[in-house]
Amino acid sequence: MESAEPVRLARYVEQAHLRMPVFFVQSDGMVGLPLSRAVIGDTASLRHADKAAPLGGGHSTQIRIAWPGYDSWERQIQIRDQTRSRNEITLERFAKLVAGVVDRFLSHSTTAITRNPSWRVGPGGIMRNNVVVVGTVQVSAGGWMPILQITGFNSNLNVTPTHFYAA
């Protein structure tokens, strides 16, 4: 009997038709939403907030976070609304859900031991007010990763021009 893992890998990664990244652009042209604002629903400045988020089909997706020095972390979100017609969620709703997942990761990780102290999360490290949710990138047929910007944090982060982090 064939293992399910190679079949799953082929279906969700190798044969996946990935969508373009989704960027959260504000009405003034600024890209990204401060996490501290997005988690409380302050997304009124989001351009095209009431339009359907371009996430493709399906009813749910995984939001995956691969933060340097921490174990991989993911949460499932619903990408259809609760109406009878099960419409795609709006860009505003998607931004709030992604921000909520990032915020839960930060809260959960404050007590975890990091393997990379430069990227430590919690008091004395990177906090909610240091994070901007720039957008998301689809990494598999069933998963998206947030694109994050770290601001206002003075640390010697080990990032070189050859590295790109999509948390």
Instruction: Give 50-97 pLDDT, tens digit per residue.
Output: 999 999 878 899 999 999 999 999 999 999 988 887 889 999 999 999
DSSP calls for 92-161? HHHHHHHHHHHHHHHHHHTTSPPS-GGG-BSTTSB-GGGEEEEEEEEEETTEEEEEEEE-S--------T
Residue 157 lies in a domain: no
Residue 162 lies in a domain: no
Domain residue limits at 123? 4-150
- When the pLDDT of each residue in the chain is averaged and rounded to a whole number, the result is 86
How far is residue 58's CA from residue 125's CA, in Å, rounded to a whole number?
37
Residue 156 lies in a domain: no
Residue 35 lies in a domain: yes
Residue 124 lies in a domain: yes
Sorted by sequence, the CB contacts under 8 Å of residue 63 that are 6+ apart come out as: 74, 75, 76, 77, 97, 98, 101, 102, 136, 143, 144, 145, 146
Residue 51 lies in a domain: yes
Q: pLDDT digit string (tens) for 17-46?
A: 888 999 999 999 999 999 999 999 998 899
User: Which residues pair with residue 77 across a beta bridge?
Assistant: 61
The pLDDT of residue 13 is above 60: no
Tokens of 96: 């709030």
Residue 160 lies in a domain: no
Q: Total domain count for the chain?
A: 1
Residue 158 lies in a domain: no
